Amino acid sequence: MENQIELVVYGADVLCPSCVNLPSSKEQYDWLQAAISRKFGDNGVIYKYVDIYNPPEEKPYQQFATKVIDEDMFYPVVLVEGEVVGEGNPRLKTIYKALEKKGLKPES
């Protein structure tokens, strides 16, 4: 696949107040990466984890990290090519559909 699809997970080491019984953002990021790789293979998706309290220097990541905090979004927040596709407890089916919509095809 020529074009890489960016999947970004925004989260924090501390669980969000409404997500007490869920895995941490980092655990969900690792789980999503494994699940997506099983369905679509290892190519085609660029994964990025952004700590909302310590975002990287790039302005778009800093701005969205600030938005997650300011708007009290449930994290992890999952974005596919800049579009929010999951919040709090992301659903695989929704993320798979978003990836397929962007042109990613499941492996046979």
All structural domains of the chain, each given as residue ranges with its CATH number in brackets, are 5-101 (3.40.30.30)
Strands 83-87 and 5-11: unpaired
The pLDDT > 70 percentage for the chain reads 92
Residue type, position 64, single letter:
F
- Please tell me the predicted confidence (pLDDT) of residue 1: 44
Q: What is the pTM of this model?
A: 0.91
The Cα–Cα gap between 21 and 55 comes to: 25
Question: Phi-psi category of 88—alpha, beta or left, where left has phi over 0 and alpha has psi -120 to 50?
Answer: left
